[in-house]
Amino acid sequence: MYNIVHIDEKWFYMTKKMEKYYLVPDEEVPHRTCQSKNYIEKVMFLAAMARPRFDEEGNETFSGKIGVFPFVTMQPAKRRSKNRDAGTVELKASTSVKREDIRACLIEKVIPVIHERWPIEDRRKTIFIQQDNARTHVQCGDKEFKEAACKNGFDIRLMCQPANSPDLNILDLGYFSAIQSLQHETCPRTVADLVHVVEESFEEYAAEKVNYIFLTLQSCMKEIMKTGGDNKYKIPHMKKATLDRENRLPLQISCDVSLVQSVMATLASS
């Protein structure tokens, strides 16, 4: 799975509607306010993540972090307020994201970063960008994407994951919830603050933990094979952190030959 870049979009909110605090005796309860708890300001981000790489001594050689890109625009303020004058250019969150926006983000941001950061030894190999089946996503045969993806000697292709299978994307499987937890530890007040906090949380998340999620993804694939393609299974746990400390963490999850044969037979008969 070293040649796959997972992408997906997610809304990040300025704050949560409900928040739990643990207080010491006589400590004042934090006071939070917003104009409407049903309309908390939010920003959509597109995240792109590949599997990180480490050398034989466990040193990180490639973080796998392609980037997290906000859908925002710079707009002049229409009215004067106590915080800024009318006409002041400020960052505004896009209220809707269309296919043209996703295509522009891939061509102008994701692909250039892949060209810049991808390990030199694998730049001549095919790289797949995996997305889900959302209507706003770019078609796999999109002409503009193909033209941008083949520049600088790269061979980058789009592919879609199976429908209704969020566990087959590492971002939905655990990465988004992890960086959102880091983001909620701060208190952003503006769109610019929220963008900065999410980007900072993205960079702070350890590459070792991203590698764990890729192994969890392989475990989920194995469970899906056992259930015949259904999603009625529990995400398995294998104490990856413990195995990593003991230098026993595998690069991939093994699978019984009989299971593979039964799946192949099922596919052949369908």
Cα separation, 49 vs 167, whole angstroms:
15
For residue 99 the two structure tokens come to 């296919």
Domain boundaries, the chain: 4-18+39-73+91-205
* Single-letter residue type at 221: M
Class of domain 4-18+39-73+91-205: alpha beta
Q: What pLDDT sits at residue 189? A: 81
Bridge partners (DSSP) listed for residue 50: 5
Residue 191 is given by DSSP the state H
Phi then psi for residue 68, to 5 deg, are -125, 120
What span, in angstroms and rounded, lies between the C-alpha atoms of 201 and 214? 19
Q: Which residues contact 245 (CB under 8 A, 6 or more apart)?
A: none
Q: Phi and psi dihedrals of 92, rounded to 5? A: -125, 140
pTM of the model: 0.88
Q: Which tens digit of pLDDT belongs to each residue from 53-112?
A: 998 888 999 999 999 999 998 877 777 777 777 777 778 888 888 999 999 999 999 999
Q: Is 156 helix (H, G, I), strand (E, B) or coil?
A: strand
> In terms of residues, how long is the chain?
270
pLDDT tens by residue, 134-157: 888 999 989 999 999 998 889 999
CB contact at 8 A, 154 and 114 = yes
pLDDT in tens, 152-206: 889 999 999 988 888 899 999 888 888 888 777 787 888 888 899 999 989 989 9
